[in-house]
Every structure is written in structure tokens, then in C-alpha cells.
A = this chain, B = another copy of it.
Amino acid sequence: MKINSNFLNLHESYLFVKIEAMAAECQKNHPERRLIKLSIGDVTRPLAPTVVKAMKKAVEELASEETFHGYAPDKFCYGYDFLLEAIGRHYQKIFLSAGVKEQIETEEIFVSDGAKSDLGSLLDLFSKDNTVLLPDPVYPAYFDANVMDGRKIVFVSASEENGFLPLPSAKTQGELIYLCSPNNPTGAVYSREQLKTWVDFARARGAVILFDAAYEAFVKGEKPRSIFEIEGARECAIEICSFSKTAGFTGVRCGYTVVPKELRREGVSLNALFRRRQTTKFNGASYIAQRGAAAALSEQGARETALCRAYYENNAKIIMAGLKNLGFWFTGGENSPYIWGKCPKGFTSMSFFRCLLEEAGVITTPGCGFGQGGEGYFRLTSFAKTADTIEAVERLKALF
């Protein structure tokens, strides 16, 4: 019996687990102190009333023989019609407001229990021989999942110089390209022209883009919310979406991934491959969660979830105003729940993380946890309660 030895190349534990442990240790040492968590990207607002109503109804349906639902239908890989149609309409709205003549077909949408699962599951489709291109800094799950598969990983630097929005050059390597916009951790958002550069690059190379759009709902104005707003993307991109941040579903668990029919490599449809993967290793997202997700995309649901996001956007403004006031350099926060700040001189990511934890009782995420390129930075999220966000900013002001 041989284990998958690639696991031995991983750091001991997933970044957020480690940070939790350090915060718990600090709390143990200072039981009187109330720690404020601006670290992990977890939401705090309750679900929208429309979503709650739909999920209660779904539970009631499961309580009666006449309306009971077992396994979700095989036909569209366990996505219910009502949710697939709602996701299709969601894309229609995005495309319409972007002036794009695109459409996402039902067979192209794969409903799941969340984006993190899909990001892991999709890797089954690709040979271990592909080189992975990751921005640096980057969401650590992209990195770790590929280390587990033993793929070669190369980086493209996201830095102040390129506004944390790296673009490919003639020297850029990689067949499996991860892009996340609005970005985690930097909050940077690609423009249409920039994404077009990536799409053209991927098409010319026969590469595939895994486009993480988990934060698309936070985009306001002109910037693209979907890679499929970009011409040619249907031939080179897969888009991974989530209800976690859009509708507060971190505890409910529902997401979806779009694999366009045109996306073929080595003569094989990746849509067909993913369908085969999902029908073998997955059995569908909860009926209750699917009903909730569809309700979140309804007109009333969209209004309610927008109100909820407005709450987080207000938090982002409070954080941004505070950092500005303190003279800290930062980016993000405009079309994103994340604010990416630069540590003051003399601090590393970790020493600044410890300083904020121990001196201010504020839990942040050290930039170095997102890769070498994150060294010297820290990430704040706008997902805390407003009162806590205000207090965290006051604590920072008192400290510096």
C-alpha cells in the first residue's frame, strides 16, 4: 500500500486552520479580551427572508409522501430545473447589462455543494502532466489541491506595479490557469480588456482558464462579472460560482460551475468529462439548498441579497476610511469584500498579524499565507458585523 506521496509536499495544515489555532491560543492567554475577526471570509448576516421561506417550504415538501424528493434528477447532473433556469436567467441579466450576446445553456451548468468542492473536483479532468499557472498571492486551496495531484506549479506575480492584476507575457507558462476576479485575497478586479488578454493567451496556447467568480455579485459598474462576457471564453474557460458570498450560503452550501459545450481539449468535451466525473463521485446538492439558491436568484431574493451585500459594502467603506486615515496603503474594497493592506515599515506579514492580534485583539489574515507575493501585506474582510468593524478600526487607530 502506497499513500499519495504528494501530500508530504503540503504544509502541515490549511492556512485558515492555523490562524484559528493562533487566535484560540491568544484568547486562552487573554480570556478577558474580546477578539474581533476580520480574517476568514465568512458571512455574518442572516439569510434573506425569501430564501428562508423557500427552504422551509422545501423541508415541508420532504415531510410528505406526495411532495417528497429523493435523489436529484440525473438529467442535468443533479441540478433541478428550477435552479438551472434561475442561473440561466442570472447570466442573461449579466450579459444583457454588459451588452454581450451570450447565453448559458442548462446542460452547461453543474450545481454543487459549493465552489471549493468544484475547484477540487474539476482537477480530476486534467492530466497531472499539465503545468499550473497561479497568480501570487493566491487563494491557498488552488495551490494545495494541485500539490496533492503532483502538478508543476508556476507563478505570475500580482504586485503593486500591476495593480495586483497580472497579465501573461510571451514567457508565461502553464496550461491550467487560475484567475479569481474580484480577487481573493487582493480585492482587485480585472477589466474586460485585461480578461480578453488572458482569453486570447489561453486560446492561442490551448490552455484552460479556471475562473473563480465567487465574488462576482460585489462588482458594481463596468467591470466583468463573468468570464463569459469575453469573446472566445467559451472555448477556453470554466467558471466557478458560489452562493456563499452572493446570498450568505456559507452554512447552507450551494454553488455552480459552468463548463461550456465548446470547451474541448484533445478532441474531448470537458463538459462531458465533468458530467462523467460528477455522476461517479457526487450525488447532488441538497434539495433544500437548491430551493434556497433559486429563491436567492428570484427578483425579490435579488433585492434582499443586494441589501445584505450593501451592509458588507458599508463595512468595506468603514475599513477603507480607517486605513486611509492611518496612512496605510491598501487596494480592493471597491468591488470586493476584501481589502488588501500593506504592513507598516518594519513589519513582516506574520509579525504584523501577531501585533494586530495581540495588541489590538483584531484577527486578520497575514498576506504571506497566500504565497510569497503576499509577504508584507494583510487581508481584511468586510464580512464582520458593522459594530465590530467600527470597533476594529478604532482599535487600529488607538494602536498606530
Which A residues are within 8 Å of any B CB, using their own CB?
A: 1-5, 7-8, 10, 13-14, 16-17, 20, 40, 42-47, 49, 52, 55-56, 59-60, 62-65, 68-72, 74-75, 113-114, 116-117, 119-121, 124-130, 141, 144-145, 148, 175-176, 205-208, 244, 248, 250-253, 265-266, 268, 270, 273, 276-277, 279-289, 385
A7–B125 touching, CB < 8 Å: yes
B52–A17 touching, CB < 8 Å: no
14 further interface pairs, Cβ-Cβ under 8 Å (given A4-B127, A52-B62, A286-B286): A2-B130, A2-B266, A3-B126, A4-B124, A14-B276, A20-B75, A44-B70, A52-B60, A116-B283, A145-B281, A244-B283, A251-B286, A251-B287, A252-B287
B268–A3 touching, CB < 8 Å: yes
A46–B64 touching, CB < 8 Å: yes
Neighbour of A63 across the interface among B43, B47, B74, B129, CB < 8 A: B47
A70–B42 touching, CB < 8 Å: yes
Set of chain B residues within 8 Å of A251, measured between Cβ atoms = 62, 68-72, 284, 286-287
Query: How many identical chains are in the complex?
Result: 2
Leading 6 A-B pairs by shortest Cβ distance: A120-B281, A2-B127, A42-B70, A70-B250, A251-B287, A14-B279
B45–A62 touching, CB < 8 Å: no
Shortest C-beta distance, A41 to chain B (Å), equals 9
Set of chain B residues within 8 Å of A17, measured between Cβ atoms = 74, 279
A52–B46 touching, CB < 8 Å: no
Given known contacts A55-B288, A176-B1, A276-B13, is B46 in contact with A117 (CB within 8 Å)?
Answer: no
A286–B130 touching, CB < 8 Å: no
Given known contacts A70-B42, A280-B14, is B286 in contact with A253 (CB within 8 Å)?
Answer: yes
- Name A41's closest neighbour in chain B (CB-CB): B71
Shortest C-beta distance, A16 to chain B (Å), equals 7
Shortest C-beta distance, A305 to chain B (Å), equals 13
Q: How far is the CA of A44 from the CA of B287 in the complex (A)?
A: 14
Q: How far is the CA of A5 from the CA of B8 in the complex (A)?
A: 25
Shortest C-beta distance, A275 to chain B (Å), equals 8
Q: How far is the CA of A341 from the CA of B114 in the complex (A)?
A: 40
B68–A44 touching, CB < 8 Å: yes
Can you give 18 A-B contacts (C-beta < 8 A)?
A: A1-B130, A1-B206, A2-B126, A2-B265, A3-B273, A4-B124, A7-B125, A7-B268, A40-B71, A46-B62, A46-B63, A46-B68, A52-B60, A55-B59, A55-B62, A62-B252, A113-B283, A252-B288
Set of chain B residues within 8 Å of A45, measured between Cβ atoms = 65, 68
Given known contacts A125-B7, A253-B285, is B1 in contact with A175 (CB within 8 Å)?
Answer: yes
Set of chain B residues within 8 Å of A40, measured between Cβ atoms = 71
B120–A282 touching, CB < 8 Å: yes
Set of chain B residues within 8 Å of A116, measured between Cβ atoms = 281-283
Q: How far is the CA of A208 from the CA of B206 in the complex (A)?
A: 40
Given known contacts A13-B279, A55-B288, A253-B284, is B47 in contact with A62 (CB within 8 Å)?
Answer: yes
- Name A12's closest neighbour in chain B (CB-CB): B276
Shortest C-beta distance, A381 to chain B (Å), equals 12
Given known contacts A127-B5, A273-B7, is B59 in contact with A52 (CB within 8 Å)?
Answer: yes
A126–B44 touching, CB < 8 Å: no
A280–B144 touching, CB < 8 Å: yes
Q: How far is the CA of A57 from the CA of B152 in the complex (A)?
A: 47
Q: How far is the CA of A19 from the CA of B397 in the complex (A)?
A: 66
Set of chain B residues within 8 Å of A14, measured between Cβ atoms = 276, 279-280
Shortest C-beta distance, A307 to chain B (Å), equals 14
Q: How far is the CA of A127 from the CA of B268 in the complex (A)?
A: 26
- Name A274's closest neighbour in chain B (CB-CB): B7
A276–B4 touching, CB < 8 Å: no
